[in-house]
Amino acid sequence: MAGGEMRRRRAGAVGPEGWLQAVGQAASRDAGAPAELLGDYLQLLAEAAVTGRRPRRADLDAVGELGRRAARQGVSAGRAVQLYLSAARRLWQDLPAVVRSDDSEVVRAAAAAVLQAVDEAVATLAEGYAQARRDLVRREEALRRELVDDLLRGDSDPGALVQRAEPFGVDPARGHQVALAAPGRRLPDTQATINALEAVIFDRLGDRDVLVATKDGLLVVIAPAEPVPAGPAAGDPRQDLGHLVHTQLSRPRYGRPWQVSVGRAHPGLYGIARSYEEAREALAMVKRLRLDVPVANAHDLLVHRVLLRDQPAIVDLVGAVLGPLTGARGGAEPLLNTLRAYFATGEVATEAAKQLQISVRTVTYRLARIRTLTGYDPADPDHRFTLQAAVRGAAALNWPANPLPTIT
């Protein structure tokens, strides 16, 4: 019998028979993946074993589409590859006797053809899968950014917003708070940072009702929270959203330094937008006041908001209380820096001296000069609030580097 006739008979024997379907079902059970993801893959291998034919471009394109389908169906890449490898193993074991041969060269050629087909098919499957996953990630990122933008604006259709938030596990009816993280340099690998932040927050807060995205060069975290009163004991610091975010971002791979601000928790859909505005204002305020704090909570800055909203009053306060310092030798700046350090260290002169890298004697001398020039004693509790408010106001006005605005 001619070799061509023998190959045709063998091809006919392995083509339409139901054993290929049985092989596919068995491989599906092995891998825990749908058998339909095999498509014509088994027929392709059987033909390679019988005829030695390599997969054509159209065959591989079909396999690539099956890889994309697996990704869209949520089948893991590992299970998809296992399905194809298990199918190849079972097919080789179960090839009909007509394909067998006593000629070792024939068997070797058949095995080489099958392995070549498996290699090309699995590589194409993985490529198609990866492409689909990249497309899904890009689509999800775009949807996430749009959702975050609308949640932070708070001006979208509430009904539609609830429907769009649902796939991300966010219930806009719950109380939420917003944290903003500003990098010291440009944002690092954004997606890796987002994934790491989500994982930490999920683990610590025990809730998947979290969104992490980027906006205007900042990382934005929207997390569930119950409304709490303002004050030093407003929440458990171990579960504080701002400190969770800052601790994670302080890892060396994300670059340093980061500054985090957190709005207060508010209920309802529009509470997210309100918390966001508070976080933005807190971030701007710590920069304006030159506060050296890694995490700024809006509830801790309420008094500063009240103070800075009345500019004529703060200009008057700075001029009346701190203006006399300009008459000191060396100007007001050294004395003002001493006051900042003194208040920042809890009114402890030795700690202020360490921060300023000067002697304790110099600190006490400067404090005495401040008392003499202004009439306000930094050590007197009745005078301390006035001096602190004036120091904050000076930072907000960038005084004495800039002259005080003229009040009309």
pLDDT in tens, the chain (408 residues): 333 433 344 444 444 457 888 899 999 999 999 999 999 999 999 888 888 888 999 999 999 999 999 998 989 999 999 999 999 999 888 776 445 556 677 778 888 899 999 999 999 999 999 998 888 877 877 887 888 888 888 766 777 777 787 777 777 778 889 999 888 766 556 667 777 777 777 666 655 578 888 888 888 888 888 654 444 444 444 457 888 888 887 776 666 678 899 999 888 878 889 999 999 988 888 887 777 788 888 887 777 777 677 778 888 889 999 999 998 888 899 999 999 999 988 889 999 999 999 999 999 999 999 999 999 999 888 898 889 888 888 887 888 888 888 766
pLDDT score at 68:
93
Q: Which of 97, 63, 67 is nearest to 79 (CA)?
A: 67
CATH code of 227's domain:
3.30.70.2730
244: helix, strand or coil: helix
Residue 265 · residue 226 · CB < 8 Å: yes
Flag whether 85 is in a domain.
Answer: yes
Claim to verify: residue 85 and residue 212 sit in the same structural domain: no
Same domain flag for 179 and 255? yes
Q: What is the pLDDT of residue 3?
A: 36
Cα 234 to Cα 4, 51, 181, 237, 299, distances in angstroms = 85, 76, 21, 9, 9
Residue 403 resides in a domain: no
Instruction: Indicate the residue among 304, 334, 368 that finishes a domain.
Output: 304
Q: Is the domain of 314 the same as that of 376?
A: yes
pLDDT of residue 189: 60
Residue 224 in domain: yes
Q: Is residue 117 located within the same domain as residue 174?
A: no
CA distance 9 to 46: 13
Report pLDDT for 230. 46
Looking at 304, 329, 363, which one is the last position of a domain?
304
Residues with Cβ within 8 Å of residue 61, at least 6 apart in sequence? 124
Q: Which domain-ending residue is among 282, 304, 326?
A: 304
Q: What per-residue confidence (pLDDT) applies to 255?
A: 60
153 assigned to some structural domain: no
Predicted pLDDT at 271 = 87
Q: How many domains does the chain have?
A: 3
Is residue 275 within 8 Å of residue 178, measured between CB atoms? Answer: yes
If asked whether residues 231 and 106 sit together in one domain, one would say: no
| 366 part of a folded domain | yes
Q: Are 237 and 243 in contact (CB under 8 A)?
A: yes
H/E element holding 304?
Answer: helix 302-309
What pLDDT shows up at residue 322? 92
Query: Quick one: tokens of 149?
Result: 């933008």
- Asked whether residue 355 is domain-assigned, the answer is yes
- Name the residue range of residue 51's domain: 3-135
- The rounded distance, in Å, linking the Cα atoms of 67 and 1 is 41
315 in the same domain as 300: no
The model's pTM? 0.56
In-domain check, residue 155: no
HEC secondary structure over 350-366: HHHHHHHCCCHHHHHHH
Identify whether 404 is part of a domain: no
Residue 345, helix vs strand vs coil: coil
For residues 121 and 197, state if they share a domain.
no
Question: Are both 97 and 16 inside the same structural domain?
Answer: yes
- Written as one letter, the residue type at 269 is L
CATH of residue 363's domain is 1.10.10.2840
Co-location of 84 and 103 in the same domain: yes
| SS3 at position 181 | strand
* pLDDT attached to residue 280: 92
178 and 284 part of one domain: yes
Both 347 and 238 in a single domain? no
Check whether residue 295 and residue 337 sit in a common domain: no
